[in-house]
């Protein structure tokens, strides 16, 4: 019998009179850090393309996408969503791949919130 099997059977080879109590403690689980996905303005990507990206990858309706696109255009950058690291990373990659496929220099980045 292996040591693990002995432990499972309750026979750890120690004293039979052992009255140790095992107490499980649970620490509070921290929420994972969130990341902002940012869309950056450039002088070449058409506004309609930016609106299409916001609708397609960030689930915005046309009016929301248009407002965010105007913010990007006027301020140079806008937060387009806040996600866990993996989702933010995926969104950035999707936007960058889509922009490259259509030969636009649109830039999308992420930063810790």
DSSP the chain: --HHHHHHTT--SS-TT---------PPPPPPPEEEEEEE--SSS-HHHHHHHHHHHH---HHHHHHHHHHHHHHSEEEEEEEEHHHHHHHHHHHHHHHHHTT---EEEEEE-
For 69-91, how does the pLDDT look when each residue is reduced to its tens digit (9 = 90+)? 999 999 999 999 999 999 999 99
Does the residue 35 lie in any domain? no
Does the residue 63 lie in any domain? yes
Report d(CA 66, CA 78) in Å as an integer: 12
Residue 5: pLDDT over 80: no
**Average pLDDT of the residues of the chain:** 91
Q: Is the pTM of this model over 0.95?
A: no
Q: Domain of 94?
A: 45-112
Does the residue 80 lie in any domain? yes
Does the residue 11 lie in any domain? no
Does the residue 4 lie in any domain? no
Does the residue 66 lie in any domain? yes
For 31-61, how does the pLDDT look when each residue is reduced to its tens digit (9 = 90+)? 999 999 999 999 999 999 999 999 999 999 9
CATH number, domain with residue 85? 3.30.1390.10
């Amino acid at each position: 019998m292996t040591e693990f099997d002995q432990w499972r059977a309750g026979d750890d080879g120690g004293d039979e009179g052992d009255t140790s109590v095992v107490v499980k403690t649970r620490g509070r689980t921290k929420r994972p850090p969130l990341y902002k996905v940012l869309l950056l303005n450039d002088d070449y990507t058409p506004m309609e393309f930016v609106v299409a990206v916001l609708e397609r990858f960030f689930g915005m309706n046309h009016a929301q996408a248009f407002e965010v696109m105007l913010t990007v255009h006027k301020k140079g950058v806008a937060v387009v969503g806040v996600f866990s690291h993996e989702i933010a990373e995926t969104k950035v990659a999707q936007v960058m791949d889509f922009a490259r496929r259509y030969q636009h220099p649109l830039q999308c980045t992420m930063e810790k919130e």
